[in-house]
C-alpha cells in the first residue's frame, strides 16, 4: 500500500494455461485484486503451427494458430473469465499468439502491452530430468523481467 492509501498493484497480469499452477496463480491474483482494488489481465499464450497457403497469394506459407490450439486456448480463457466473474473481481481475458517467440518472451511482451504492475505466475516446481526436458518458463521470465513477479508454487499435498 502507498502512503495515500492507494495500492501499487492496479494492473495484475496472469499468464494462464488452465493447469493447476496457473489456477493457483489466478486465485492469488484475484485475492490481491480484491485487497488492492486492482484489475486482472489474464492471457493464454497460443502456440502456432505452419500452414501452407496458395503461392499465387504472394506468400509461400503463413504462421497461424492451429485450430485445436485456438479451441483449447478459448476454452481455457473462458474458464478463467468465469472464475474472475464468480470472484467478483474486475478483469479481462485474451489469447495471444506467440508469433515464433518463446513462451516467456510472449508473456513478457503481453505484460508490457497491458502496462502491468505485477505478474503473478504459477510454477510446476519441476526438478532434474523433467525440468531439463520441459524447461522453466518462470526461470526464463525472471531473467528478462522488468516487473515485480509473484511466483505461486504448485505443492503436492499429502
Q: Has domain 11-48+64-153 been given CATH number 1.20.120.430?
A: no
- What whole-number distance in Å separates Cα of residue 7 and Cα of residue 80? 24
Helix/strand/coil (H/E/C) assignment for every residue in 87-143: HCCCEEEEEEECCCCCHHHHHHHHHHHCCCCEEEEEECCCCHHHHHHHCCHHHHHHH
Residue 153 confidence (pLDDT): 86
Residue 82 confidence (pLDDT): 94
pLDDT in tens, 15-45: 999 999 999 999 999 999 999 999 999 999 8
Residue 156 confidence (pLDDT): 54
Residue 101 confidence (pLDDT): 83
Residue 10 confidence (pLDDT): 93
Helix, strand or coil for residue 49? strand
The C-alpha cell at 142 is 525472471
Q: Quick one: which H or E segment has residue 60?
A: none
pTM: 0.77
Domain residue spans of the chain: 11-48+64-153
Low-confidence ranges of the chain (pLDDT < 70): 1-7, 48-71, 73, 124-135, 156-158
Amino acid at each position: 500500500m502507498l502512503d495515500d492509501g492507494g495500492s501499487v498493484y492496479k494492473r495484475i497480469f496472469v499468464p494462464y494455461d488452465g493447469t493447476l499452477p496457473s489456477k493457483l496463480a489466478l486465485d492469488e491474483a484475484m485475492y490481491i485484486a480484491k485487497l488492492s482494488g486492482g484489475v486482472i489481465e489474464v492471457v493464454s499464450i497460443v502456440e502456432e503451427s505452419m500452414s501452407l497457403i496458395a503461392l499465387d497469394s504472394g506468400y509461400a506459407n503463413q504462421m497461424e494458430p492451429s485450430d485445436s490450439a485456438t479451441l483449447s486456448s478459448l476454452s481455457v480463457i473462458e474458464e478463467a473469465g468465469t472464475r474472475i466473474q464468480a470472484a467478483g473481481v474486475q478483469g479481462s481475458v485474451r489469447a495471444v499468439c506467440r508469433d515464433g517467440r518463446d513462451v516467456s518472451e510472449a508473456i513478457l511482451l503481453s505484460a508490457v502491452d497491458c502496462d502491468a504492475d505485477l505478474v503473478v505466475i504459477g510454477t510446476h516446481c519441476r526438478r532434474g530430468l523433467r525440468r531439463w526436458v520441459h524447461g522453466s518458463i518462470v526461470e526464463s521470465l525472471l531473467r528478462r523481467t522488468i516487473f515485480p513477479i509473484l511466483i505461486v508454487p504448485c505443492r503436492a499435498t499429502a
